Amino acid sequence: MAEILAIETPALGDRSYLAHDGETAVVIDPQRDYDRVLALAERAGVRITHVAETHIHNDYVTGGLALSREAGAAYLVNAADPVRFGREPVTDGDAIDIGPATRLRVLATPGHTFTHLSYVLEADGEVAGVFTGGSLLFGTTGRPDLLGPASTPALARAQHASARRLARELPGTARIFPTHGFGSFCAATQAQASSSTIGQERRSNAVLTMGEGAYVRALLAGLDAYPAYYAHMGPANLAGPGGADLSLPQQAAPEEIRRRIAAGEWVVDLRDRVAFASGFVPGAVCFSLDGSFAPYLGWVLPWGTPVTLLGETADEVAEAQRELARIGIDRLAGAATGQPRDWSGGQPLASLRLATFSDLARAGGRRVVLDVRRDLEWADGHVDGALHIPFSDLPGRLTDIPEGEIWVYCRTGYRAVVAASILAAAGRQVVSIDDEFDHAHDAGLTLMRPGRELQERPR
Question: Which domains, from first to last, does the chain contain?
Answer: 3-239 (3.60.15.10), 254-344 (3.40.250.10), 353-454 (3.40.250.10)
pLDDT value, residue 173: 97
pLDDT at 459: 40
Q: Where are the alpha helices (DSSP H) in 119-211?
A: 152-169, 198-204, 206-209
Per-residue pLDDT at 457:
44
Helix axes 35-44, 64-71, angle to 10 degrees: 40
Cα angle 397, 374, 426 (rounded to 5 degrees) comes to 30
168: amino acid identity, one letter: R
Alpha-carbon span 444 to 8, nearest angstrom: 40
Number of neighbours of residue 317 by Cβ within 10 angstroms: 22
C-alpha pair distances (Å), 101 with each of 18, 58, 345, 432 = 16, 33, 63, 58
Residues of the chain with pLDDT under 50: 456-459
User: Rounded distance, CA 318 to CA 38, Å?
Assistant: 19
How many Å apart are CA 94 and CA 372, to the nearest integer? Answer: 47
pLDDT attached to residue 451: 66
**CA distance linking residue 232 with residue 143, whole number of Å:** 18
User: Rounded to whole angstroms, how far apart are CA atoms 455 and 135?
Assistant: 38
Alpha helices (runs of H) in 45-182, residue ranges in sequence order: 64-71, 152-169
From 186, 196, 187, select the one nearest 138 (Cα to Cα). Answer: 196
